């Protein structure tokens, strides 16, 4: 599927401009059973430009400020200061206009859970201002497009997590909007559903020049679908570029993964020497090394005594996760927050 | 996770970066707003369909509770004005259970679970969401209230000639109690508190509505006068008279209507406040 044509035709500038966005959550005093939390700057001077027809990603660990940023873009939350402009409309001054410009897929499905897939899509379309007939026609088209027609009569509650997510995504698409803001759209989906989501996004971009802002945890997905990505940490953008552009920043490194049979043979001196630079998770070690070091490490573990304890190993060029770590991201958070495998 | 459609990334890298001023000159056209009545109808229909999925058991509970109370009270009251009060109170209790208690819980749950975001990111008037949900919950009460009123009339041998007055009692006390329920659910800072307030409201409707008024101590009588369900109960109770005082019935129903308008306005305000923080 070609994704570039629409970009070339309708590349007429910035769709979404964010400037110095700041939002601080006040400190909460501790109560019984609830510990006190200090003041948190959820977005700390964020500036971004998203261009027409782009699939722009926000990547970062839990608590990096992605959802706060998205809530400010969709008019759900007022920033303390800064500006958000979408398609020429000032959304800080007129938050109510966001709903007429943006199709938003949030993380929660509470409002739709007890409806059937079909009624959820139709009702959402009608609340986006469509007439009954238009809403039904668009509902049928979107359900067909996403392969949900067979599930149309089932309540969302009774579906699996991935199917429910897909049904919510369907509701987001009924009632066309030039900008789509999707907060982790493919969570829990199988590969078929994921493919349906990205195909639908691509089609809207190719046919209508839609712009997509995507919050994601999934680095692998980010690498393959995003045009550009902003990496967020503690409310700040620590990098913003294309995935390949970001990866060039750590081009000198190689990622070595070692999988031990039971545990690492620490009695082998070469293995013991690698340990301080390894990120361990159970039997798995991940190392980021220069090419020479990587060669030496592989030679050490594949020859001699260590080989008997080795189950598997891989050498790979760096991923966005490595970029994140190289940029100074918090490794402890990254191992649980950034990548949801 | 291997099958993802590749996106071309090259063009965006070479593209010049305008600073947002280009877009500022010509704002894009906005999609139309959803109008009040069509979106109210859409919300109403969606809420009604939820009954099939989730609410049916509770609707039975509401009815059985009221019928049970009437059976119990049959041993206590001996016909006349007290019997009328019991039947009317039990019937309106079904409305209080569903419209006040369940709706408060629903909005509390919706708010706590982030469900309001869904509506807040659609161009729908707040009144449509609140009124649509309130109307649906008031509609849920119809079968239970009618069943209770008829059962009560049979149990206490009351005339059923004027039961048609339920056509006005259910929507008007429904509006008052659903508005109250929605406002409580949306204003309560926590979900558990919304549930608690809904339950308390229903308990108040039970005690103050079903127990005959002239047996209550004076301060409790004042509380009874403050509770909107009381006026629905009074209107229904008076319709059991051989020749009902339609003026008084109309006055009581008018009180319900005024409370309904006020509480629904408060609920709409509370919704707006809860949706955008």
A74-116 pLDDT, tens digit per residue, is 989 889 999 999 999 999 999 889 999 999 999 888 889 889 9
> Which distant-in-sequence residues (6+ apart) come within 8 Å of B142 by Cβ?
B170
**Cα gap B235→A332, rounded to integer Å:** 66
**Cα gap B223→A242, rounded to integer Å:** 66
- Do A100 and B49 count as a contact with CB atoms less than 8 A apart? no
Backbone angles phi, psi at A245, to 5 degrees: -60, -40
- Do A14 and B22 count as a contact with CB atoms less than 8 A apart? yes
- Do A107 and B54 count as a contact with CB atoms less than 8 A apart? no
pLDDT for position A270: 81
pLDDT for position A12: 62
B 42-61 residues with CB < 8 A to A: 42-43, 45-46, 49-50, 53-54
Find which of B32, B39, B121, B186 to mutate to test the A interface (most A CBs within 10 Å of its CB): B121
* Contacting residues of A for B190, CB less than 8 Å apart: none
Taking the Cβ of residue B34 and every Cβ of chain A, the question of whether any pair is shorter than 8 Å is answered with: yes
Taking the Cβ of residue B243 and every Cβ of chain A, the question of whether any pair is shorter than 8 Å is answered with: no
- Do A106 and B114 count as a contact with CB atoms less than 8 A apart? yes
- Do A110 and B114 count as a contact with CB atoms less than 8 A apart? yes
Q: Which chain A residue has its CA at the smallest distance from B1's CA?
A: A191
- Do A127 and B2 count as a contact with CB atoms less than 8 A apart? no
Q: How far is A12 from chain B (nearest CA, A)?
A: 9
B 101-130 residues with CB < 8 A to A: 109-110, 113-124, 128
Provide the CATH number for the domain formed by A252-317 in this structure. Answer: 3.30.70
* Contacting residues of B for A224, CB less than 8 Å apart: 4-7
- Do B38 and A126 count as a contact with CB atoms less than 8 A apart? yes
Backbone angles phi, psi at A53, to 5 degrees: 80, 5
Instruction: Calculate helix-pair angle for B80-95, B228-238, nearest 10 degrees.
Output: 130
B273: pLDDT confidence band, cut at 50, 70 and 90?
confident
- In chain B, beta strands by DSSP E: none
**Nearest CB to A88 within list B3, B28, B45:** B28
Q: How far is A130 from chain B (nearest CA, A)?
A: 7
> Which distant-in-sequence residues (6+ apart) come within 8 Å of B69 by Cβ?
B86, B90, B93, B206, B210
Taking the Cβ of residue B191 and every Cβ of chain A, the question of whether any pair is shorter than 8 Å is answered with: no
B25: pLDDT confidence band, cut at 50, 70 and 90?
low
- Do A111 and B18 count as a contact with CB atoms less than 8 A apart? no
Taking the Cβ of residue B157 and every Cβ of chain A, the question of whether any pair is shorter than 8 Å is answered with: no
- What does each C-alpha distance from B139 to A192, B59, B61, B142, B260 come to in angstroms? 41, 11, 16, 5, 15
B102-142 pLDDT, tens digit per residue, is 999 999 999 888 889 999 999 999 999 999 999 999 998 99
Find which of B44, B122, B126, B128 to mutate to test the A interface (most A CBs within 10 Å of its CB): B122
pLDDT of B10 over the 60 cut: no
Give the number of A-B residue pairs with CB atoms closer than 8 Å. Answer: 202
pLDDT of B21 over the 50 cut: no
Task: Identify the sign of the CA torsion B145, B146, B147, B149.
Answer: positive
Is this model's pTM higher than 0.95 or not? Answer: no
- Do B45 and A55 count as a contact with CB atoms less than 8 A apart? no
B52-104 pLDDT, tens digit per residue, is 766 667 788 889 999 999 998 888 887 788 888 899 999 999 999 989 999 99
Query: Could you list the pLDDT tens digit for every one of the 341 residues in chain A?
Result: 444 433 333 446 888 999 988 988 888 877 777 777 788 888 889 999 999 999 999 988 888 888 889 999 998 988 999 999 999 999 999 988 999 999 999 988 888 988 999 999 999 999 999 999 999 999 999 999 999 999 999 999 999 999 999 999 999 999 989 999 999 999 889 999 999 999 999 999 999 899 999 998 777 788 888 999 998 888 889 889 888 888 877 777 788 888 888 888 888 888 888 888 888 888 888 888 888 888 888 888 887 778 888 888 888 877 777 777 777 655 444 444 444 33
* Contacting residues of A for B11, CB less than 8 Å apart: 4, 7-8, 11
pLDDT of B26 over the 60 cut: yes
- What does each C-alpha distance from B23 to A210, A259, B28, B246 come to in angstroms? 15, 52, 8, 64
Could you state, in order of their start, the residue ranges of all structural domains in chain B?
Answer: 35-275
pLDDT for position B12: 41
Provide the CATH number for the domain formed by A5-244 in this structure. Answer: 3.40.50.300
> Which distant-in-sequence residues (6+ apart) come within 8 Å of A171 by Cβ?
A112, A120, A121, A123, A124, A125
Find which of A7, A56, A114 to mutate to test the B interface (most B CBs within 10 Å of its CB): A114
Q: How far is B105 from chain A (nearest CA, A)?
A: 13
pLDDT for position A128: 94
* Contacting residues of A for B13, CB less than 8 Å apart: 241-242, 245
Q: Which helix (H) or strand (E) holds B44?
A: helix B36-50
**Nearest CB to B27 within list A89, A218, A221:** A89
* Contacting residues of B for A195, CB less than 8 Å apart: 3-5
Strands A310-316 and A254-260: antiparallel
Taking the Cβ of residue B220 and every Cβ of chain A, the question of whether any pair is shorter than 8 Å is answered with: no
- Do A49 and B121 count as a contact with CB atoms less than 8 A apart? no
- What does each C-alpha distance from B40 to A95, A126, A272 come to in angstroms? 22, 10, 68
Q: How far is B37 from chain A (nearest CA, A)?
A: 11
């Amino acid at each position: 599927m070609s994704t570039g044509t629409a970009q070339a035709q309708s590349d007429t500038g910035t769709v979404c401009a964010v400037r110095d966005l700041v939002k601080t959550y006040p400190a909460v005093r501790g109560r019984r059973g609830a510990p006190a939390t200090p003041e948190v700057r959820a977005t700390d001077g964020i500036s971004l430009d998203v261009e027409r027809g782009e699939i722009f990603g926000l990547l970062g660990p839990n608590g990096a400020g992605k959802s706060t940023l998205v809530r400010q873009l969709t008019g759900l939350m007022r920033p303390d200061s800064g500006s958000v402009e979408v398609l020429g409309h000032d959304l800080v001054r007129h938050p109510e206009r966001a709903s007429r410009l943006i199709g938003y897929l949030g993380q929660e499905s509470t409002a739709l859970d007890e409806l059937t897939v079909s009624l959820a899509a139709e009702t959402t379309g009608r609340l986006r201002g469509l007439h009954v007939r238009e809403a039904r026609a668009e509902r049928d088209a979107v359900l067909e497009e996403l392969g949900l027609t067979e599930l149309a009569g089932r309540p969302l509650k009774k579906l699996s997590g991935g199917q429910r997510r897909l049904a919510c995504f369907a509701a987001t698409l009924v009632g066309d909007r030039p900008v789509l803001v999707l907060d982790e759209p493919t969570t829990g989906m199988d590969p078929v559903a994921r493919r349906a989501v990205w195909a639908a996004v691509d089609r809207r971009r190719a046919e209508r020049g839609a712009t997509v802002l995507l919050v994601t945890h999934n680095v692998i997905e980010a690498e393959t679908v995003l045009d550009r990505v902003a990496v967020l940490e503690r409310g700040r953008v620590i990098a913003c570029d294309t995935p390949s552009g970001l990866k060039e920043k750590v081009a000198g490194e190689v990622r070595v993964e070692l999988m031990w049979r039971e545990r690492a043979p620490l009695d082998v001196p070469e293995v013991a020497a690698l340990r301080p630079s390894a990120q361990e998770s159970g039997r798995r070690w991940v190392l980021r090394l220069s090419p020479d070091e990587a060669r030496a490490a592989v030679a050490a573990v594949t020859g001699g005594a260590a080989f008997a304890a080795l189950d598997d190993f891989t050498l790979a060029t760096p991923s966005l996760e490595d970029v994140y770590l190289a940029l100074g991201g918090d490794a402890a958070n990254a191992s649980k927050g950034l990548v949801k495998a | 996770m291997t099958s993802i459609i590749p996106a071309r990334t090259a063009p965006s890298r070479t593209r010049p970066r305008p600073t947002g001023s280009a877009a500022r000159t010509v704002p894009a056209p906005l999609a139309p707003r959803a109008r009040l009545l069509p979106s109210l109808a859409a919300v109403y229909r969606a809420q009604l369909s939820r009954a099939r999925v989730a609410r049916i058991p509770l609707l039975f509970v509401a009815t059985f509770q009221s019928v049970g109370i009437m059976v119990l009270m049959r041993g206590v009251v001996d016909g006349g004005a007290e019997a009328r009060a019991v039947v009317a109170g039990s019937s309106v209790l079904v409305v209080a259970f569903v419209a006040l208690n369940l709706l408060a819980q629903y909005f509390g749950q919706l708010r706590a679970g982030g469900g309001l975001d869904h509506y807040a990111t659609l161009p729908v008037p707040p009144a449509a969401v609140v009124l649509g949900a309130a109307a649906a919950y008031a509609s849920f009460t119809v079968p239970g209230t009618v069943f209770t009123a008829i059962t009560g009339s049979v149990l206490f041998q009351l005339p059923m000639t004027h039961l048609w007055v339920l056509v006005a009692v259910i929507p008007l006390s429904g509006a008052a109690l659903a508005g109250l329920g929605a406002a409580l659910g949306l204003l309560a800072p926590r979900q558990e508190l919304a549930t608690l307030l809904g339950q308390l409201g229903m308990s108040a409707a039970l005690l103050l509505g079903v127990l005959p008024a002239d047996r209550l101590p004076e301060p409790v009588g004042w509380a009874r006068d403050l509770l909107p369900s009381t006026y629905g109960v009074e209107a229904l109770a008076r319709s059991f008279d051989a020749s009902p005082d339609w003026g008084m019935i109309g006055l009581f129903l008018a009180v319900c209507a005024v409370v309904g308008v006020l509480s629904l306005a408060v609920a709409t305000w509370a919704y707006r406040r809860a949706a955008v923080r």
